[in-house]
A and B are shown apart, each in its own frame.
Chain A
């Protein structure tokens, strides 16, 4: 009887916890049904042979998916990794740069500094990449296991049935009006870049001087405390930019809604930026003095003039972005009316 006990044990440790005893009892009773009266060892072996590999037998009872991420989530999983990976790497690289430019006082030669940043950068890309990959995979594997809701249903049954009539609602997108995926990714990465720089501004933006032995960081340009005090505004802008990017990804073309969203977002962002940049405490006085010494201007003029000059550049870019949106939208208006074509 040893054979049967070991066989059952082999099955048992692979069974789902829930019905383990019940399943085991059933298998045991089946084995006994199959055995003749007073079975010999060969009889037992024959019966076990017929039942087959205990691993396979136990597998049949498994209720959990036998894969990490199934076809239902695979596409989403891959595109999320593609989106988040470059963002995470960009943010961490800028942070690395910020921390090393100031921290590297003892590193005298410029080449030594560049090499050390390069080395750290490569290592950082690797470890950030692994982290992103790991956490997204873990989250999706969990979703795959928790969400049993539509497991038994056909994947299409939850949606309404498709008819050719639905094509009417999808407008044919002219190429000039289309928003490419790369444009959206670019926008999100750009948001990540400036936001990271913003929160490390005192370490990145400032005066560097070549004093014979590599670059020396003389003074930061901006007052980080002032920058940080505007965080609700910045968070709002970041939120709007990401919302707009996702909305573009969804719409895939410069529709009327996208153009207006774009306009509102640009106006609000530029408003907040101008508000921040014209704060008179924003520029470090050391920085203002340096500039006024350099150009022989008086320092009050510099503070005011500099702020508005930078603001002007921001405003020009914002206005251009708004106009650009309208131009792209207009290009598509001449599109052939699809309803008309369907009517024929």
Chain B
């Protein structure tokens, strides 16, 4: 039971995580600062998920990366590209629409049960 629930939850979260990460990358972020920001909004993401995700986003040209070596230790910064910004806006609108629809659907079901 709990294993099934876990895999369903993972599936449900996967798409949302991408959106969450994209939303935080309008200003340059390095890995750990991104984790902190997401945690601040109550979103936990496993680091073993986040870093590979960032690489995939970079490979698809949604984000660009650069090493900052001016500080005491080098950090890899990621930031949304123009293309990534476009994609992010579209995804955001779609997500709002979809959650709205889903919300109403679940509300109706609630009312029927009453």
Within 8 A of B (CB), among A5-40: 19, 22-23, 25-27, 29-30, 32-34
Q: Is the CB of A61 within 8 A of B30?
A: no
> Given A19-B55, A61-B55, A152-B60, is A26 in contact with B48 using a C-beta cutoff of 8 Å?
no
Contacting residues of chain A (59-116) with chain B, CB-CB under 8 angstroms = 60-61
Looking at A49-57, A134-142, A189-197, the stretch in contact with chain B turns out to be A49-57
Select from chain B the residue with minimum beta-carbon distance to A62.
B52
Using A19-B55, A56-B48, A57-B48 as known contacts, say yes or no to A32 and B31 having CB atoms under 8 A apart: no
Query: In chain B, what residue has the closest Cβ to A11?
Result: B48
Report Cα–Cα, A19/B51, bound state, in Å. Answer: 13
Query: In the complex, are the beta carbons of A27 and B51 less than 8 A apart?
Result: yes
Cross-interface CB contact of B76 among A29, A34, A50, cutoff 8 Å: A29
Interface residues of B: mostly helix, strand, loop or mixed? helix
Give A19's nearest chain B residue, CB to CB: B55
A25 to B76, CA, bound (A): 9
Q: Mark B41-81, 1 if CB is under 8 A from A, else 0.
A: 00000111101110100001000000000000111100000
Taking the nearest CB of chain B, how far is it from the CB of A120, in angstroms? 51
Bound: A60/B46 CA distance, A: 11
Cβ B32 vs Cβ A30 within 8 A: yes
Whether the Cβ atoms of A33 and B55 lie closer than 8 Å is no
Contact A29 B52 (CB under 8 A): no
Q: Are B47 and A50 in contact (CB under 8 A)?
A: yes
- Is the interface on chain A under 10, 10 to 19, 20 to 34, or 35 or more residues? 20 to 34
Known contacts A19-B55, A61-B55: A34-B48 contact under CB 8 Å: no
Chain B residues 14 to 55 lying within 8 A of chain A, measured CB to CB, are 30-33, 46-49, 51-53, 55
In the assembled complex, the Cα of A61 lies from the Cα of B55 at a distance in Å of 8
A29 touches B49 (CB 8 A): no
| Chain B positions within 8 Å of A32 at CB level | 73
Q: Which residues of A contact B33 (CB under 8 A)?
A: 33
Which B residues lie within 8 Å of A30 (CB)? 30-32, 47, 51
Find out whether the CB atom of A29 lies under 8 angstroms from the CB atom of B75: yes
- With A33-B32, A52-B46 as known contacts, state yes or no: A60 contacts B51, CB within 8 Å: yes
Cα-based distance from A19 to B54 in the complex (angstroms):
13
Provide the bound-state CA to CA distance between A25 and B60, in Å: 22
Docked Cα-Cα span, A60 to B53, in Å, equals: 8
A25 x B74 contact (CB < 8 A): yes
Chain A's closest residue to B75 (CB) is: A29
A50 CA / B33 CA spacing, docked (Å)? 15
Chain B residue contacts of A52, Cβ below 8 A: 46-48
Distance A60 CA – B49 CA, assembled complex (angstroms): 7
Instruction: State A29–B52 Cα separation when bound (angstroms).
Output: 15
Q: Is the CB of B47 within 8 A of A26?
A: no
In the complex, chain A residues whose CB is within 8 Å of the CB of B48: 51-53, 56-57, 60
From B32, B47, B55, B73, give the contact of A57 (CB < 8 A).
Answer: B47
Complex interface: chain B residues within 8 A of A34 (CB): 32
Bound complex: CA A206 to CA B74 (Å): 83
> From B54, which residue of chain A is reached at the shortest CB distance?
A26
Q: Output the least CB separation between A155 and chain B (Å).
A: 18
11 more A-B residue pairs beyond the given contacts A30-B30, A57-B48, with a C-beta to C-beta distance below 8 A: A29-B30, A29-B31, A29-B74, A29-B75, A33-B30, A33-B31, A50-B47, A52-B48, A56-B48, A61-B51, A61-B52
Minimum-distance CB pairs A-B, first 5:
A60-B52, A33-B32, A57-B48, A26-B76, A30-B31
Chosen A-B contacts, 19 in total, with CB atoms closer than 8 Å, are A19-B55, A26-B31, A29-B73, A29-B74, A30-B30, A30-B31, A30-B32, A30-B47, A32-B73, A33-B31, A33-B32, A33-B33, A51-B48, A52-B47, A53-B48, A57-B47, A57-B51, A60-B52, A61-B51
